Amino acid sequence: EEIDKNGPSINSVIELNPDALVLARELDNELKNGKLRGALHGIPVLIKDNIDTADKMQTTAGALALEGNRARNDAYVVKRLRDAGAIILGKTNLSEWANFRSTSSCSGWSSRGGQTKNPYIIDHNPCGSSAGSGVAVSSNLCTISVGTETDGSVVCPSSVSGVVGIKPTVGLVSRTGIIPISSTQDTAGPMARTVTDAAILLGVLSGIDSNDNSTLDSKQKKESDYLKFLEKNYLSGKRIGVEKKQQGTNQFMHALQKKSTDLIKSLGGTVVEIEYLDAINDLGESEFEVMQYEFKEGVNSYLKQADLKIKSLKDVIEFNLKNEDVAMPYFKQETLISSNEKGDLSDVKYKEALRKSHR
């Protein structure tokens, strides 16, 4: 009811699960009969629309080209949520293709879902491709949500919407069943109103998945319970890097940053001022090249097995050109095009860009 009533003003939910109330009643009955599935039993969660659900909902990454895509299987993280008792309430809007369509894109806009609004300042940027997930949690349309991040798409919308977002180390959370950008950088991550809720959700999402080899590296590192790390003195002895140069000219933001760094110090943390390095910026070019190669490879693999007429990145580009007025009314698809022009992952240029990025 809250999504129906106030959801349209912020446009963070792209689709509701028509079976949500049925699932809720079933889970309530289980609880009454003494069955507790897990930490999220009966908890409503919204998930980003690039994560597969094997139900009546679509998975489109916000793209009209993928409209009608209903997954055969749940993404691994969705299976983990269901096993823990969560109700998949619906899908959240996002920057189309997780913000990998154009260099002139608008955060939180997709051709399928329209523009997600900043919950605090309605005509300001909601930030990052997981904008819908951040806004939905901030606006109390769900208890918790799941976003995905390649480059800031969980932490930025969380920051702007005033919620807690965590980008897990790649490999802690499986990517199976998530429409990809980069196999070396992608991960799903928890978004919640409190650190405690985010920690509980992280424990549910993390797991070893035989279909995602990156998770094998986490075998000895993953935890089932992250609540044990929520200690008030946990910052004692920790070194926190803060960029020395002030960002922008807003005096209130500068005051807020000083307040934050003073808080870190008062809790026993050490603030280390860092000089900005142009070399880091230069490495961004190599990183982008890596993402283009991996995006082409990953999207082609995903679409090849999908129940869609669209079977490749090339098909997506052609669809957008044929439907330009509705698919590309504000910005185009130069990132899709440049990615499609790349070779495969055996290409020497890809390997060199990957080496530079890791350096």
Report the candidate in 196, 118, 187 with the shortest Cα–Cα distance to residue 158.
Answer: 118
3-state secondary structure of 64: helix
Cβ atoms of 148 and 98 closer than 8 Å: yes
What the block records as the tokens of 107 is: 């955060």
- Contact indicator for 296, 341 with CB cutoff of 8 Å: no
Catalytically annotated residues: 48, 129, 153
Nearest CA among 159, 83, 87 for reference residue 120: 159
Closest to 150 measured CA to CA, from 131, 170, 132: 170
For residues 190 and 47, what is the distance between their CA atoms, to the nearest angstrom? 10
- Tell me which H or E stretch contains 319: helix 313-322
Rg (alpha carbons) of the chain, rounded to whole number:
20
Instruction: Reduce the DSSP state of residue 250 to 3 states and report it.
Output: coil
Residue-wise DSSP of 190-239: EEESSHHHHHHHHHHH----TT-GGGGGGTTT--S--GGG--TTTTTT-E
